[in-house]
Amino acid sequence: MKPKILLIYTGGTIGMMKDPETKALRAFDFSKLLVHIPEIKQLDCEIDTFSFDDPIDSSDMNLEEWRKLGDVINKNYDDYHGFVVLHGSDTMSYTGSTLSFMFENLTKPIILTGSQLPIGDLRTDAKENLITSLQLAVEQDQDGPIIKEVCIYFEYQLYRANRTAKMNAEHFEAFSSPNYPPLAISGVNLNIDKSLLWKWQVDDPAFAKAKQEKTPVPDSNRMRYRPDLVDRVVVLKLFPGITEEVVGAICQINGLEGIVLETYGSGNAPTQKWFVNLLKEALEKGIRMVNVTQCIGGAVAMGKYETSIQLQKIGLVSGNDITTEAALAKMMYLLQHTDSPASFRKYFETSLRGEITE
Ligand code: ASP
């Protein structure tokens, strides 16, 4: 029996055409996309397709669209060996990170891909990205799918999605994964480094909470779909000259539950009293706050410099080497599944889906 893959089209450049009036690229319908790629019929797998009714530019991605996408995968989970999601590259790392938390104990691959040039363009990068993503999704051994996590495939590299960031709007190599090596490289052969692949674990807050509440605890072997996320969060990026008025206004947002604080270098921030006091008050109000670095690579190490000691003292959680994209997704997930600052910290500082180095 041939493996079955569900190919899901959400939108993005891969399926875009120029609007005749505005000349701007916009998503068009899926049937027109597959016409450009008859080669996929030669693959040794069965491919079914699903398209969003209104394909979007990924700049329009939001919680509602994530749930739509998650629901499609969840509903079809038992019927397919893997999933390939066509998605715009602009927010692909955010979506990949979010899906990685939504699907606990994943036993199959979810591979996101797209392209920098539309599939109808003569020089398109879409064909290689799509064909290799499908090939990676069907990779099996005697125990079933080899890849059991959410990935991004782009320009000859397969990455763990929650380790990536879009770093180039021009080059075909649009993504980087600065703190974790690529899981696979496509050359003459498709080389998957099995030692780097994620192996699921049951120490997940949603799992622990279900146990505590004595709600039926899932069979630890089964995938669990956890679509609920909290959107009352903000990313606050520091810059020299940031004012008390700006930080104060953000901390005062009504109903705010979490702040991802993008600091300098290894987690450093201004030492002025007003700044530290505003953060301290926000933490005392119950707002969860995570320290992530603005640097492309490397990690937060609070206490290394004097300029981060005060953040550690007032109780910021260390984001370690997490990307801002993954920190945001993890925060949205953990605000839903933890109920105290201590459990939020415990799980944020634990690698739940391979998103941080432990
Ligand atoms: N604006 C497009 C999008 O994210 C860019 C792309 O697909 O690469 O949907």
pLDDT digits (tens, 9 = 90+) for 244-296: 999 999 999 999 999 999 999 999 999 999 999 999 999 999 999 999 999 99
Ligand 1 center to 353 CA (angstroms): 25
pLDDT at site 120: 83
What is the whole-number distance in angstroms between the Cα of residue 306 and the centre of ligand 1? 41
The pLDDT confidence band at residue 301, using thresholds 50, 70 and 90, is very high
For CATH 3.40.50.40, list the domain ranges present in the chain.
230-348
Q: Which of 13, 95, 263, 293 is catalytic?
A: 13
Residue 18 banded pLDDT, cuts 50, 70, 90: confident
- Maximum Cα interatomic distance, the chain, rounded to a whole number of Å: 66
The CB of 155 under 6 Å from ligand 1? The reply is no
Across 297-319, average pLDDT: 94
- How high is the pLDDT of residue 206? 67
CB 115 within 8 A of CB 64: no
Domain with CATH 3.40.50.1170 in the chain: 4-196
- The model's pLDDT over 315-358, given as tens digits with 9 standing for 90+, comes to 999 999 999 999 999 999 999 999 999 999 999 999 999 999 98
166 C-alpha to ligand 1 centroid (Å): 11
Residue 211: what pLDDT?
Answer: 63
Q: Cβ of 152: how many Cβ atoms within 10 Å?
A: 32
Closest CA to 144 of 8, 40, 7, 1: 1
Question: Per-residue pLDDT tens for 158-208?
Answer: 999 999 999 999 999 999 999 999 999 999 999 999 999 998 665 667 666
CATH number for 230-348 (one of 3.40.50.10070, 3.40.50.2300, 3.40.30.10, 3.40.50.40): it is: 3.40.50.40
Q: Is 227 in the pocket of ligand 1 (CB under 6 A)?
A: no
The C-alpha atoms of residue 91 and residue 157 are separated, in whole angstroms, by: 18
Tokens encoding 210:
């279900």
**pTM of the prediction?**
0.94
Tell me the pLDDT band of 35, cut-offs 50, 70 and 90: confident
- Does ligand 1 have an atom closer than 6 angstroms to the CB of 124? no
Looking at residue 121, its pLDDT comes to 87
Decide: 89 in ligand 1 pocket, CB within 6 A. yes
Ligand 1 atom with the smallest distance to the CA of 115 is 8
Residues 6+ positions from 113 with CB-CB distance below 8 Å: 14, 84, 85, 86, 87, 129, 130, 133, 152, 153, 154
Pick the CATH number of 4-196 from 3.90.1150.10, 3.40.50.1170, 3.30.1780.10, 3.40.50.11900: 3.40.50.1170
Instruction: Say whether 13 is catalytic.
Output: yes
**Token representation of residue 247:** 């930080």
Whether the CB of 15 sits within 6 Å of ligand 1: no
